[in-house]
Amino acid sequence: MSDTRFHEMADGRRIAFRLAEGAGPCLVFLPGYMSDMAGGKASALFEQARAEGRAALLLDYSGCGASSGRFAEGTLSRWREEVLALVEHYGNAPILLAGSSMGGWLMLLVGEALGDRLAGLVGIAAAPDFTLWGYSAQQRAALAAGETVLEDNPYGPEPTPTHPGFFADAEGHLRLGQEIAIDCPVRLLHGQCDADVPWEISIELAKNLRSDDVQVTLVKDGDHRLSRACDIALLERIVAALT
């Protein structure tokens, strides 16, 4: 992408991003696990914002897409640090976070850190705590013992790895089953044919959020990606209503 820029972290990590200047709040899209800012949902929301003169920020976590680093070193804490660094460096507008799958877990962590700057959350098949409910007891034991777990990848030829460093860090960021101290408007979108993240996770997340302004939209025939034209059009309407 010709408008990709790079932000250098203090330790030399180079984080790829795209920034559309415009009115706030600034939409910040957080991709899923092993995903990047070139995905269909991220691109559609970025172009919608740019066409309407609204601010938007896309990024690749370190070890993903065009950013530097090794994916095996990635953690929620590390990626939260990168998102916050970009948000703090490139403006002071209110922030609307949109998180897809694992990005829906990360948006909670970033949102908590943003405090009063947080204007809203949009979760797309949000997957908070997936290291807890998404793995068998045997897999969790292997990760706790320092092993990498490989799983079949329905979206590509290579297996999906979960590294022990990611797992150990994630155990300190579990959010379900307790009050989540976020008070902004929250919109959660989830397909009921999602084979990766049960739609009930969005229901549980809605219950745990402290905010009273929480709405869950279920797409009966929607899958995990929610990338059909009709799904993206629905997502665009949800985001536009919060800006």
Known catalytic residue at 224: yes
- Per the residue annotation, which of 60, 129, 194, 231 is the catalytic one? 194
- Please, what is the end-to-end C-alpha distance for the chain in angstroms? 26
Provide the residue ranges of all domains of the chain, joining segments of one domain with +. Answer: 5-241
- pLDDT at residue number 243: 86
Contact between 63 and 74 (Cβ < 8 Å): yes
Task: Give CA–CA dist 40/205, Å, rounded.
Answer: 25
- Tell me the DSSP string of 76-119: HHHHHHHHHHHHHHT--S-EEEEEETHHHHHHHHHHHHHGGGEE
Which residues, 6+ apart, have CB-to-CB distance to 52 below 8 Å?
A: 22, 240
- pLDDT at residue number 1: 53
Number of C-beta neighbours around residue 67 at 10 A: 25
| Whether this model's pTM surpasses 0.85 | yes
- Per the residue annotation, which of 101, 173, 190, 202 is the catalytic one? 101
CATH architecture designation of domain 5-241: 3-Layer(aba) Sandwich (3.40)
Known catalytic residue at 194: yes
Please list the pLDDT of the chain residue by residue as tens digits (243 residues). Answer: 569 999 999 999 999 999 999 998 999 999 999 999 999 999 999 999 999 999 999 999 999 999 999 999 999 999 999 999 999 988 789 999 999 999 999 999 999 999 999 999 999 999 999 999 999 999 999 999 999 999 988 777 789 999 999 999 999 999 999 999 999 999 999 999 999 999 999 999 999 999 999 999 999 999 999 999 999 999 999 999 998
- Per the residue annotation, which of 163, 173, 190, 224 is the catalytic one? 224
